[in-house]
Structure 1
């Protein structure tokens, strides 16, 4: 259908070979030579008007025969000066033989051909004379601007003043390829294009490439007839590539486009920022206009400097935004502790990260964990975004303002997505979201092309009207600007630094933990050997001084229990020291009756002993207390014991005074207990021990050197807190859950000696649960750590059945117990009869009161 108008379905603009038109604009002459021999190969048909040489005779002629040796010499010198940069050589006010007036010429080499372009110097070279001064003035004016808006406005006005075009526009390319007029200088009678958009198809891809290669482009008259190159191309010959030519003729479609705008002549200056085509300075004129080459050079230099200034301002804006973002990010990181898990820390800070880039929400995929704010895409949608970003083959930030164009039917209000990779791939990603912002765009005419003609004669026609055309835009967010991307890059860098710091801290902590483990193992090995040697010595010496097996057993058990108690007490402090008052009160409390709490009085300031002194004093107190119970003041109902401790200089003095007991006389020989006391204090601690067997009661003084003593807050004199249990196990049935056979047997023997009539043993949870199906114990004793399992399940069953129980443990505190079981009484291994009886009574009393018991004894 001839002349039918329909929406264009084929965009042949991108395929139009505008770089090989085979013709030039008529305001100049072009010569194309061999770059080695400089023999003429092609020339524009109007060459005869310049040289009087007919077109059918010039192929193969030397260039000097056409332009004269002097002109060729100048051209070659100009080419040599710019050869290294690739820029064309320029000769202003060139004179040709037998021609009046002067000419401007350029020379460049491209695609194995040498191009010489010659134009008449319309003002006899006057423009060349002031071009340099004009360039200096313009650059100085632009260099004064540091604000973006002022810069582009000044740029448009200065170019109009310099070149004299009716309209000058600063035209910026947008993220989607379209352009927008951001500044304009025009004559008053012209309509304004300020703020209007132009579709990406107005400047097709190959035209944009040429704008990068050739930063100045002049069209002198859209209605002029192009001048062809002669002779015509031979069959199989490569077309003449005019990509860098000033005189290259213009696409008919573009000429029609300009005519539809009411433009007769144009000049464009490419704005190239950091290697990319940032935009154009577009100059339009209502009548044909040829701008002299000297002014075009000035305009090109101005464009270079203007682009540098643009880049400088944009970089400064990005730097300021990045710096401010960094400052805020540093504030965010300030309270993230070294070694703190990074994913929860970042998840808590997602709203703050979103606000940094002016977003409505954020989400995080990291280490397989998902976290998001209220405004966010779904997990599945974000996975699709990760795949899109990964498929793009880039490890940099991925963004879109129209997520619906990438993911079908996204759920929610999100339209803009920015994905920041936190790892080498997009497996760990921070997502930032912007909601849809419906808005209206003003186009300079409806942004479509139409097809004119049918069949092989069809062609695309540019729009015929540039009247403002408004479009409602949906499904888009506010665009992501360079500043947003700069802040996002700062976030990316910052998060990677944080992740690296935490990773390094974790690695350092693991290394330190391993070092501590090795040191602890060495220390444990050393201490175990010392304890074994000490136990061996105690066993041998106790045997040597015992008269019967029963006496040996009782003495050895008491001494070992004192050693274990001291060990537990020092570990329980958590810092390698133990309380002297607690130690004395624990030992004394086992020998006080409920009806005579003043039988043993202990008083003195609050002091701490280091672990070495603590063990020694525990053994000394045990020996002294055992002797007082057997032979001294505590062997009779009316006997009394006073223990007082104080400072003597910096040393610690412990005074022991017995009264009210049987008459005392010095022993006939020194027993092991006395030798143990003296050797421990004098040899191990470099202290002293003095024992005086006065008839009214034994008196002793023990001195502990100051290096083993730490002073704490003073406390008022008080009786010992721990008291002997009055509970009885007579006739009780007991369940013992213990995975170590010897310890289970020892516990059974102890419980039976205390009066238990039925003691049943279970080595694990399974056995215990099976026993509980047919057996209801009066009380249960549970070892919490049973190798590869714990007794927590058994404890839960006992709690549900309201049966009393206690834990038996070799650990120093309740650290391994679940929080719900912290109220349960515990006894530490090795167990003593008095302690386990006391804690069984506490467990029974707690169940009777139906309230949690709180106790811990050794």
Structure 2
């Protein structure tokens, strides 16, 4: 026998109780039409015990039913009633037992036929057909959900005559709320009260979806056990579809604690899920027959359809509202080249995709926000948590702090969260937030004490005895997200992915054009190398020959020297242009570059080149960098060479080289005490053929820093300068570490 405890209450097998309610009796036949199960109270109706009936052919029941024609009446009735829709269209079949009217209800239980016999008795005076017809007409003509619910409970009460009829709606967490009620005047109201999910456990809710009506005629009677001749290890008879199925002793005690003697319920189903119940209470025992229950069920089915229609209508309105925003955002994504701008810098923004107060988006290594959101440090930690814990690409909660405790600090803006992942690898997310909404909920008894623990070892449970109104204030909870909002976000996610794909296609086209441009540049470089360098070499050679002529007067020598100097300068410029055109085109074989060797080698070369100056080059710290070694050499050769060149006029020229580890990056600083650079020119000096205005006395073509910038861009790094006139310059370069490059 099943004994409910704290550990197994939710697993109580209420579909196989092994007994029935005693206002009727049950006989089950196997596939050969032999009596396999029988309720022990059959003796009260047939005057024969269950043991005497078991394992006998079904034909013997004919005599007890006063049906001798046709032969095997019960078997023929079962065969006649069976159809593709089961036995429901046939039920109930009227019979007479001991001179009293009964209804036979036939159903299947796995391989068995269930025959349930219950009285036809009714004390209702209402014309069922008229009441039901009028009820359906009134319900279908109404458009307000609250009015439909109120009319439904009124009509159900008129049909079945119960003291109280309620509509009990299930919330997403399983707890219930009374949303409509009609009652006798002497009863206290239950309207607006909430009931914990444990009052109707999950397995009971599953049965309510399969069996749409449930009658408990009298909680004070003793159920009748079901006997069988089958082996003890055989599974008990499944009474899922039974009208007489006995009731869990926990639920019986629950009803007694409420003062309820009889209950009746009708399931309200929306899209195959239990939306709620029409729950009926009577404070004295009450039986209602099959036809009355069926009439009430019909109203419940129509109410379910009406509710479904209104729910779907509201869903469609919500979907249409969000579609307006999604369509606007989609058009902005098509028009804009920058995805973040499309979503944040227009009248319709990402915030409008759902009903939220704030939104944050991590995209393309940047954070974008709109409306009140937590600070950037929290958002970064939240994304890390989502990376580890978010399985689907979309997740919504109205109680963020329950699953992520750090959110407590930001309850005013982030009690609710709807997160959508764009890319886990790139840590790209859209996250909407809702604030805390404090509310008061009235419970029928303390929801934290839905059961009482008893027994010597405190493991046996019984339902609570008190149903006095217990108010609780709900904190750390936001307005729940609805299905249409999630659909809106998923649609927007796909549009963003399409936009990214379009940008990628455009980028591929641009890359093809860039490749063509590089090919043209290579051809141009070849032209410079072969078509310009050779004539310049001739000019230099002839100029040098002419200068050796002793007969030339000083003026001629000066002019030829100018020609030679110009040719040498032109040759240097051509070489710089060739170097710039090739910068970044070297085959990229990235590795950790030994900077100590590289810097010392450059230092020695520069000291030899500038041996006529008293320059000092100090290497104060070294950090290896990740890059292509030849290009890294070009960067530091240009920067240190410039530092030495523009420090020559100082009384004691000094160049300091230092490195700092910034965690994700390595930064080098090359500092000199030279002539400095005007702040207004510090951005321009990285452009091709651009030099500062005060460097005319120094050799150069304005290409070196352009080469540095081009190489740093290829390395996804940065270069910048901090300088003041006559106070020297410090050039900075930052290289990404291997795992980020």
TM range, smaller chain: 0.5 to 0.7
* 1:635-784 equivalent positions in 2, closer than 5 A: 764-775=638-649
State the alpha-carbon separation in 1 of the partners of residues 697 and 281 from structure 2.
Answer: 95
Contact 1:180/1:195 (8 A) holds in 2:
yes
Match of 1:442 in 2: 442
Q: Is residue 328 of structure 1 aligned with residue 204 of structure 2?
A: no
| SS of aligned partner of 1:411 | helix
Deviation larger for 143-152 or 284-293 = 143-152
Match of 1:412 in 2: 410
| SS of aligned partner of 1:239 | coil
Match of 1:23 in 2: 19
Structure 1, unmatched stretches of 5+, are 1-7, 566-744, 746-757, 778-791, 832-846, 849-858
| SS of aligned partner of 2:306 | helix
Contact 1:363/1:432 (8 A) holds in 2:
yes
State the alpha-carbon separation in 2 of the partners of residues 806 and 192 from structure 1.
Answer: 80
Match of 1:82 in 2: 85
Q: 1:377, CA displacement in angstroms?
A: 7.3
**Alignment deviations for residues 95-120 of structure 1 (CA, whole Å, 9 cap, x no partner):** 55876465433322224433221223
Q: 1:528, CA displacement in angstroms?
A: 6.4
* 1:256-655 equivalent positions in 2, closer than 5 A: 256-332=253-329, 335=332, 338-342=336-340, 353-354=350-351, 357-366=354-363, 369-370=366-367, 374-376=372-374, 379=377, 383=381, 387=385, 391=389, 393-401=391-399, 403-404=401-402, 406-407=404-405, 410-414=408-412, 416-423=415-422, 427-447=427-447, 448-449=449-450, 451=452, 453-455=454-456, 459-467=460-468, 469-481=469-481, 483=482, 485-498=483-496, 500-524=497-521
Contact 2:199/2:450 (8 A) holds in 1:
no
Match of 2:676 in 1: 800
| SS of aligned partner of 1:800 | coil
| SS of aligned partner of 2:440 | strand
Q: 1:457, CA displacement in angstroms?
A: 9.5
**Alignment deviations for residues 491-540 of structure 1 (CA, whole Å, 9 cap, x no partner):** 23213412x13311321122111221233245446666778898699999
Contact 1:104/1:118 (8 A) holds in 2:
yes
Contact 1:11/1:460 (8 A) holds in 2:
no
Q: 1:480, CA displacement in angstroms?
A: 0.4
Measured at CA, do residues 775 and 192 of structure 1 come closer, stay the same or move farther in structure 2, by a change above 3 Å? Answer: same
Contact 2:50/2:227 (8 A) holds in 1:
yes
State the alpha-carbon separation in 1 of the partners of residues 526 and 140 from structure 2.
Answer: 82
State the alpha-carbon separation in 1 of the partners of residues 10 and 84 from structure 2.
Answer: 35
Match of 2:52 in 1: 57
**Alignment deviations for residues 178-214 of structure 1 (CA, whole Å, 9 cap, x no partner):** 1111112223332211111111111122212211222
When the two structures are superposed, what TM-score results if normalisation uses the length of structure 2?
Answer: 0.68
Q: 1:809, CA displacement in angstroms?
A: 10
Q: How many equivalent pairs are there?
A: 618
When the two structures are superposed, what TM-score results if normalisation uses the length of structure 1?
Answer: 0.59
State the alpha-carbon separation in 2 of the partners of residues 304 and 154 from structure 1.
Answer: 14
Match of 2:179 in 1: 182
Match of 1:251 in 2: 248
**Alignment deviations for residues 257-288 of structure 1 (CA, whole Å, 9 cap, x no partner):** 22333322221112222232221111222333
Measured at CA, do residues 797 and 399 of structure 1 come closer, stay the same or move farther in structure 2, by a change above 3 Å? Answer: same
Bigger RCO (CA 8 Å, 6+ sep): 2
| SS of aligned partner of 2:103 | strand
State the alpha-carbon separation in 1 of the partners of residues 310 and 681 from structure 2.
Answer: 77
Larger Rg: 1
Match of 1:153 in 2: 150
Q: 1:248, CA displacement in angstroms?
A: 0.6
Measured at CA, do residues 446 and 528 of structure 1 come closer, stay the same or move farther in structure 2, by a change above 3 Å? Answer: closer
Match of 1:10 in 2: 6
Contact 2:36/2:229 (8 A) holds in 1:
no
Measured at CA, do residues 435 and 93 of structure 1 come closer, stay the same or move farther in structure 2, by a change above 3 Å? Answer: closer
Match of 1:789 in 2: none
| SS of aligned partner of 1:218 | strand
Deviation larger for 796-805 or 302-311 = 796-805
Contact 1:40/1:60 (8 A) holds in 2:
yes
Measured at CA, do residues 445 and 14 of structure 1 come closer, stay the same or move farther in structure 2, by a change above 3 Å? Answer: same
Match of 1:836 in 2: none
Measured at CA, do residues 311 and 797 of structure 1 come closer, stay the same or move farther in structure 2, by a change above 3 Å? Answer: farther
Match of 1:105 in 2: 104
State the alpha-carbon separation in 2 of the partners of residues 407 and 377 from structure 1.
Answer: 16
Deviation larger for 115-124 or 89-98 = 89-98
Measured at CA, do residues 368 and 510 of structure 1 come closer, stay the same or move farther in structure 2, by a change above 3 Å? Answer: closer
State the alpha-carbon separation in 2 of the partners of residues 181 and 214 from structure 1.
Answer: 21
Q: 1:398, CA displacement in angstroms?
A: 3.1
| SS of aligned partner of 1:82 | coil
Match of 1:47 in 2: 42
Q: 1:486, CA displacement in angstroms?
A: 2.0
Q: 1:490, CA displacement in angstroms?
A: 0.7
Structure 2, unmatched stretches of 5+, are 548-558, 574-608, 616-636, 652-668, 703-724, 727-741
Q: 1:174, CA displacement in angstroms?
A: 1.4
